[in-house]
């Protein structure tokens, strides 16, 4: 039956009825408490992904599951459907409702010995959004953030953030989270790529869009793969035989923390007794001459691997006498995760849990002096990368018209290591493989989804060749465990970033990772958004997430929703050589090739002869062919395009506006070929 789509103009969340009974006073208090404990134990319970405001996947069977007493009868009703089941010996139960068309709001009722009513439930399209920081990156930190948040009036776009969770064993529920409708007040915390993707889908489909955001910055792909998949894979099975058993993981991780603690002591001596003892680090006259140094901007893990905790960073600069006492503006790029910043011992600003927030602090008049001035930053890092990072152009202090750069070697001192309390909150998701699959993916299965969008790979660039197998392994693992067939899996190819300044002649791990991503398109029902043209040379987190979302949405609209729209750029097909000229033909040329340049110049192409030395090529578009040559190469053997860590100057597009996929025509040995994932 085709039900009409219903939604009120003003959204009102209905409160779930309380399941708690009031306590009597006096002598009955103890017995009432006991009764309530027993009552709570008997309550039918749902996973936290089920809640008010949720979005259920349309046109697919709808699994609903949870827990109750052994043998307890549970009935689920929704839109006129009703399904009844008994909890098994472990207290688990599951029903599958028949597919529903888009609509809402509705109420989903679950009844056992108690009753649960979930209100404001929509039926539409549900997409899992996962990966590392560029997927985790919020609307608040993106380009035109204030405008985007101000104009966000999309109540039919809903977002569920899975709390960052590691676990040594697969969990059956997430630690928390709730479904939130997009509005000016809420959208700032949404995954930016996911939100802009959803916004494009909604424009075309006009149905509710649900986003399940299960992402964590700075994470390896191996931590997102299940243990059985790794154990049964050709590339990881030998390594997995050396991985500690589940019961021993916490002990091993704590031992690693102890080893890190010893390394820190060797580096800097004993840790401060407590935060009060470390408070002197903020003072301008504190002697930090014996402290080790780290590069700013840059994550401190470049100097001390796997370091999570609280550390101080200090630097100084000289000020001209005529600028003494003037107000100033201090720029510290971004700080992962929280900071308190001091100038000459005076606190000038702080941000809590803002790893993707640019720090710009006002320095009041009268604080700066002629000659030496000291900046002290107390940084708290709760996992992944830590420290002051971003563009060198965003690390400076501006006094009147004088701009003083602050990048370079800063003094560094650890105040304390992040404590490891239990295996459900282990600090480093990359400590071992499977930890994030266990904590952030397994609890979501088998919630019905349309598909997944993925933005990750930065952490795996150093072992890009192995990613050719690891990435498809993860996709197949998720599909096998979800048991929803080969659901759509669309991903973002790495953008441009200076990284290690890699290129064709020195080797580029980022180009090799992009190649591995391109090769993953051999899996059925996959698609890729190319983004080399919208990166930022000095920032691994490009702010333009709008175009990323649009390009992913174009793939989905074409492949998942059969809209017939353009969705990809030129793909290399064939190389022909005539004399010193190389001719490249392409597929997916749309209505024609073009150079995105007002003078019509093509950039990003290189050519090499038998000596394997690449030279920049002069290239131009001729119909659906690119013709190129170099005066340094008499007989071309190989051509590469956008083959560099930072490939932002590459500018071949089709006329529909989609960038060409980076490629190489040779099969010469990659620099990451022999770099393998190992247990740390």
- Which pLDDT score, from 0 to 100, does residue 90 have? 96
Average of per-residue pLDDT across 235-260? 82
- Which pLDDT score, from 0 to 100, does residue 256 have? 73
Q: How far is CA 321 from CA 318, 324, 370, 399, in A?
A: 9, 5, 5, 12
- Which pLDDT score, from 0 to 100, does residue 566 have? 96
- Which pLDDT score, from 0 to 100, does residue 39 have? 40
Cα(423)–Cα(167) distance, integer angstroms:
6
pLDDT at 426 over 90: no
Q: Residue holding tokens 């404990």?
A: 37
Helices 546-559 and 192-205, packing angle to 10 deg:
40
pLDDT at 674 over 80: yes
At residue 19 the predicted structure's pLDDT band, cuts being 50, 70 and 90, is: very low
Average of per-residue pLDDT across 11-31? 34
**Number of C-beta neighbours around residue 314 at 10 A:** 21
Cα(157)–Cα(256) distance, integer angstroms:
42
- Which pLDDT score, from 0 to 100, does residue 244 have? 85
Query: Are the beta carbons of 171 and 443 closer than 8 angstroms?
Result: yes
- Which pLDDT score, from 0 to 100, does residue 356 have? 78
Average of per-residue pLDDT across 420-427? 44
Q: Within 414-463, where are the H helices?
A: 435-436
Residue 120, helix vs strand vs coil: strand
At residue 9 the predicted structure's pLDDT band, cuts being 50, 70 and 90, is: very low
Portion of the chain with pLDDT greater than 70, in percent: 92
Cα(300)–Cα(602) distance, integer angstroms:
38
18 — phi, psi (to 5°)? -65, 140
- Which pLDDT score, from 0 to 100, does residue 600 have? 87
Q: Indicate the CATH number of 257-417 among 2.60.120.260, 3.40.50.2000, 3.40.50.1950, 3.40.50.300.
A: 2.60.120.260
57 — phi, psi (to 5°)? -70, 130
Question: 463-489 burial, b for 16+ CB within 10 Å, e for fewer?
Answer: bbbbbbbbbbbbbbbbbebbebeebbb
In tens, the pLDDT along 114-159 reads 999 999 999 999 999 999 999 999 999 999 999 999 999 999 999 9
Average pLDDT, the chain: 91
What is the layout of strands, in order, in the sheet containing 338-343? 293-296, 408-417, 309-319, 371-381, 338-343, 346-351
Q: Where are the domains of the chain?
A: 257-417, 571-660
Closest by CA position to 369, among listed 413, 401, 335, 321: 321
pLDDT at 91 over 50: yes
Question: 255-270 burial, b for 16+ CB within 10 Å, e for fewer?
Answer: ebbeebeeebeeebee
pLDDT at 322 over 90: yes
Query: Are the beta carbons of 169 and 438 closer than 8 angstroms?
Result: yes
Cα(224)–Cα(164) distance, integer angstroms:
12
Residue 398, helix vs strand vs coil: strand
Tokens of 362: 């006002």
At residue 87 the predicted structure's pLDDT band, cuts being 50, 70 and 90, is: very high
Of the listed ranges 53-62, 354-363, 421-430, the one predicted with least confidence? 421-430
Q: How far is CA 260 from CA 3, 244, 296, 515, in A?
A: 60, 19, 22, 35
Residue 620, helix vs strand vs coil: strand
Which pairs count as long-range contacts for 646-649, CB under 8 Å and 24+ apart, including other chains? 646/496, 646/497, 646/498, 646/499, 646/501, 646/535, 646/537, 647/496, 647/511, 647/532, 647/604, 648/496, 648/532, 648/533, 648/535, 648/536, 648/537, 649/603, 649/604
Average of per-residue pLDDT across 423-433? 69
- Which pLDDT score, from 0 to 100, does residue 4 have? 39
- Which pLDDT score, from 0 to 100, does residue 255 have? 77
Query: Measured between alpha carbons, how far apart are the two ends of the chain, in Å?
Result: 56
In tens, the pLDDT along 179-201 reads 999 999 999 999 999 999 999 99
Of the listed ranges 214-223, 410-419, 424-433, the one predicted with least confidence? 424-433
- Which pLDDT score, from 0 to 100, does residue 14 have? 33
Cα(202)–Cα(575) distance, integer angstroms:
41
- Which pLDDT score, from 0 to 100, does residue 249 have? 76
Q: How far is CA 21 from CA 39, 44, 120, in A?
A: 9, 16, 25
- Which pLDDT score, from 0 to 100, does residue 73 have? 97
| Cα–Cα–Cα angle for 602, 605, 608, rounded to 5 degrees | 145
In tens, the pLDDT along 463-507 reads 999 999 999 999 999 999 999 999 999 999 999 999 989 999 999
**Number of C-beta neighbours around residue 563 at 10 A:** 13
Q: How far is CA 232 from CA 242, 433, 474, in A?
A: 14, 14, 12
**Number of C-beta neighbours around residue 536 at 10 A:** 18
Higher pLDDT among residues 321 and 266, named by residue: 321
Of the listed ranges 163-177, 236-250, 430-444, the one predicted with least confidence? 236-250
Strands 92-97, 62-67: pairing is: antiparallel
pLDDT at 20 over 60: no
Query: Are the beta carbons of 158 and 209 closer than 8 angstroms?
Result: yes
Torsion 425-429-432-435 (CA) sign: positive
Question: 53-83 burial, b for 16+ CB within 10 Å, e for fewer?
Answer: bbbbbbebebbbbbbbbeebebebbbbeeeb
- Which pLDDT score, from 0 to 100, does residue 2 have? 36
pLDDT at 344 over 50: yes
- Which pLDDT score, from 0 to 100, does residue 260 have? 75
- Which pLDDT score, from 0 to 100, does residue 45 have? 97
- Which pLDDT score, from 0 to 100, does residue 252 have? 78
Q: How far is CA 437 from CA 33, 303, 431, in A?
A: 37, 28, 13
pLDDT at 273 over 50: yes
- Which pLDDT score, from 0 to 100, does residue 427 have? 61
- Which pLDDT score, from 0 to 100, does residue 384 have? 72
Does the bond joining 446 to the residue before it have cis omega, within 30 degrees of 0?
yes
pLDDT at 32 over 80: no
In tens, the pLDDT along 506-547 reads 999 999 999 999 999 999 999 999 999 999 998 899 999 999
- Which pLDDT score, from 0 to 100, does residue 535 have? 96
pLDDT at 17 over 90: no
In tens, the pLDDT along 36-50 reads 443 445 699 999 999
CB neighbour list of residue 178: distance below 8 Å, 6 or more residues apart: 48, 51, 52, 53, 160
Tokens of 578: 């005539």
In tens, the pLDDT along 373-403 reads 999 999 999 877 799 998 888 999 999 989 9
């Amino acid at each position: 039956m085709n039900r009409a789509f219903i939604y009120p103009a003003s959204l009102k969340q209905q409160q779930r009825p309380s399941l708690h009974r009031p306590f009597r006073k006096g002598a009955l208090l103890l017995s009432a408490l006991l009764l309530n404990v027993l009552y709570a134990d008997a309550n039918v319970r749902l996973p936290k992904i089920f809640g008010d405001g949720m979005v259920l996947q349309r046109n697919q069977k709808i699994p609903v599951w949870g827990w109750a007493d052994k043998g307890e009868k549970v009935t689920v009703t929704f839109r006129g459907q009703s399904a009844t089941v008994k909890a098994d010996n472990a207290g688990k139960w599951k029903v599958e409702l028949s597919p529903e068309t888009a609509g809402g709001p509705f109420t989903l009722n679950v009844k056992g010995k108690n009753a649960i009513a979930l209100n404001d439930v929509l039926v539409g399209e549900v997409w899992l959004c996962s990966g590392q920081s560029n997927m985790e990156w919020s609307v608040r930190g993106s380009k035109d953030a204030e405008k985007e948040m101000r104009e966000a009036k999309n109540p039919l776009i809903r977002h569920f953030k899975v709390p960052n969770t590691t676990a040594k064993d697969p969990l059956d529920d997430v630690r928390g989270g709730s479904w939130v409708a997009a509005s000016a007040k809420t959208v700032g915390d949404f995954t930016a790529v996911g939100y802009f993707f959803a916004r494009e889908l909604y424009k075309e489909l006009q149905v509710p869009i649900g986003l399940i955001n299960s992402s964590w910055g700075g994470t390896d792909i191996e931590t997102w793969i299940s243990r059985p998949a790794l154990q049964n894979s050709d590339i990881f099975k030998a390594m997995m035989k050396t991985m500690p058993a589940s019961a021993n993981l916490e002990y091993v991780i704590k031992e690693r923390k102890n080893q890190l603690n010893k390394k820190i002591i060797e580096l800097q001596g004993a840790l401060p007794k407590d935060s009060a003892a470390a408070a002197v680090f903020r003072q301008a006259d504190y002697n930090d001459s014996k402290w080790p140094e780290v590069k700013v901007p840059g994550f401190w893990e470049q100097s001390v691997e796997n370091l999570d905790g609280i550390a101080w960073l200090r630097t100084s600069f000289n000020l001209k006498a005529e600028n003494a006492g003037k107000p100033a503006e201090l720029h510290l790029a971004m700080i992962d995760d929280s900071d308190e910043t001091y100038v000459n011992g005076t606190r000038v600003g702080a941000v809590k849990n803002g790893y993707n927030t640019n720090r710009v602090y006002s320095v009041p008049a009268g604080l700066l002096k002629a000659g030496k001035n000291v900046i002290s930053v107390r940084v708290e890092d709760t996992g992944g990368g830590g420290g002051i990072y971003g563009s060198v152009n965003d690390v400076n202090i501006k006094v009147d018209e004088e701009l003083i750069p602050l990048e370079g070697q800063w003094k560094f001192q650890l105040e304390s290591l992040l404590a490891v309390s239990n295996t459900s909150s282990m600090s480093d998701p990359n400590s071992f493989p499977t930890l994030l699959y266990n904590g952030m993916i397994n609890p979501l299965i088998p919630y019905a989804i349309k598909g997944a969008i993925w933005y990750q790979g930065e952490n795996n660039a150093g072992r890009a060749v192995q990613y050719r197998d690891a990435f498809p392994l993860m996709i197949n693992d998720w599909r096998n465990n979800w048991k929803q067939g080969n659901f759509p899996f669309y991903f973002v190819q790495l953008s441009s970033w200076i990284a290690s300044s890699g290129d064709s002649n020195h080797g580029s791990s980022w180009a090799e990772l992009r190649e591995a991503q391109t090769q993953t398109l051999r899996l059925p029902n996959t698609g890729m958004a190319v983004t080399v043209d919208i990166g930022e040379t000095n920032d691994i987190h490009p702010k333009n997430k709008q175009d990323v979302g649009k390009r992913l949405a174009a793939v989905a609209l074409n492949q998942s929703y059969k809209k017939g729209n353009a969705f990809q750029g030129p793909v290399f097909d064939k190389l022909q050589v005539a004399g010193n000229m190389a001719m490249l033909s392409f597929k997916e040329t749309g209505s024609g090739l073009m150079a995105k340049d007002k003078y019509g110049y093509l950039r990003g192409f290189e050519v090499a002869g038998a000596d394997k030395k690449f030279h920049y090529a002069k290239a131009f578009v001729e119909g659906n062919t690119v013709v190129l040559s170099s005066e340094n190469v008499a007989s071309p053997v190989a051509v590469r395009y956008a083959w560099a860590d930072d490939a932002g100057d590459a500018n071949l597009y089709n006329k529909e506006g989609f960038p060409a996929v980076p490629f190489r025509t040779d099969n010469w040995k990659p620099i990451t070929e022999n770099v393998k994932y190992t247990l740390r």
